[in-house]
Amino acid sequence: MDKNKTNPTRPLQTNFCNLSLSSPTILLSGCVGFGEEYTRIDGFSNTDVGGVVLKGTTLEPRLGNKNHRVYETPMGMLNAIGLQNPGCEHVIDKILPNLIANETHFIANVCGSTIDDYGAVTEKFDDSMVSAIEINISCPNIKEGGVSFGNYPEMSAKVINACRKRTSKPIIAKLSPNQTDIKENARQCIEAGADALSVINTVMGMAIDTETREPIIANVQGGLSGPAIKPIALLKVKQVYEVAEPHGIPILGQGGITNSNDVLEFLIAGATTVGIGTALFYDPMICKKINEELISYMAKHNIQSVHEIVGSLKT
């Protein structure tokens, strides 16, 4: 499908990794569980979102971190859930069969503590109904003392390469902002076989209880999401687009998006699709509103396809 080809009756139709999405909006991993509950919300339509990224999944079940695991900040949310999940076999055998395949595109989110773990989970999802696989390379590498795979381009590339060998489905590398050179990381992930890039994951932060003088998050640090990180995410999308665009690699832009203007900024910076996460906690139907406002904006500016907006930043 020509990425610039438009359907006049569906102006938000978006091509992402050769998948036809009804909207450029995608629900982010960790914010809607495994999708089976969110898609049952009264008023939800399969045209509201282009896809749903399932909760991060590991090879074996994980209980996650101790409480407190979530803390609201003035402009966002800290979380350190610890990848709580029932393990990939349970997800594939018990959860995926209950999802309605034609409802929207479901995207797996693969996590691991070793490169072998990533490859094994990816292979299991290869023979499933998911449309694509997002690789969460921000996980700690237990064989390297807990250092994050995603903070070092060479390590990120090794993970993507291992996953690429285990699946024919589109692979989306989820890039961390907590690194020195995100452009170099993007370049190496592309060379290793990534079909798309998620930009960005959460920014590390913490909160302190001044009465007890203890960290509020039991894990001490957590990932900051929400409006506070939007300017950071927007810049990272622009930087990664410079590397990805020549290779035809699309970007799933994310970080603090709460309205249609935020979406437009990310599209203009170079994102083909945009992820909605923290905003869902206070408005589960926000994507419907965003879509309506995007259509109005496009009509006002005589834009026939959402792809016309992508990468249109004037510098």
Q: Closest Cα to residue 139, out of 186, 201, 193, 199?
A: 201
Asked if 92 and 122 count as a contact pair (C-beta separation under 8 A), the reply is: no
Higher per-residue confidence, 262 vs 101: 262
Three-class DSSP category at 269: helix
Q: Are the CB atoms for 240 and 214 separated by under 8 Å?
A: no
Coarse DSSP helix, strand, coil percentages of the chain, rounded to the nearest 5 percent: 35, 25, 45
Categorize the per-residue pLDDT at 100 as very low, low, confident or very high, splitting at 50, 70 and 90. Answer: confident
Please identify every residue annotated as catalytic: 139
Residue 115 lies in a domain: yes
Q: What is the pLDDT of residues 106-151, one digit of tens each?
A: 999 999 999 999 999 999 999 999 999 999 998 765 566 556 888 8
The better pLDDT of the pair 282, 172 is held by: 172
169 within some domain: yes
User: Does some domain include residue 75?
Assistant: no
Question: Per the domain annotation, does 300 fall within a domain?
Answer: yes
The pTM of this model reads 0.94
The answer to whether position 21 is within a domain reads yes
pLDDT of 78 strictly over 80: yes
Range of the domain at 287: 14-64+83-204+224-308
Q: What are phi and psi of 224, to 5 degrees?
A: -90, 125
Would you state the pLDDT for residue 9? 60
Tell me, yes or no, whether 95 lies in a domain: yes
Exposed (0-12), middle (13-18) or buried (19+): which is 124, by Cβ within 10 Å? buried
Q: Which of 134, 81, 128 minimizes the C-alpha distance to 109?
A: 134
The reply to whether 314 falls in a domain is no
Residues 243-286 have pLDDT tens digits of: 999 999 999 999 999 999 999 999 999 999 999 999 998 898 89
For residue 191, being part of any structural domain is answered with yes
Percent of the chain exceeding pLDDT 70 equals 94
Question: Residue 102 corresponds to which tokens in the numbers above?
Answer: 């034609």
- Asked whether the beta carbons of 165 and 126 are under 8 A apart, the reply is no
* 43 — pLDDT class (breaks 50, 70, 90): confident
Q: How many domains does the chain have?
A: 1
CATH number (domain holding residue 295): 3.20.20.70
In whole angstroms, what is the distance from residue 312 CA to residue 55 CA?
Answer: 32
DSSP result, 53-98: EEEEE-SS-B--PPSP-EEEETTEEEE-----B--HHHIIIIIGGG
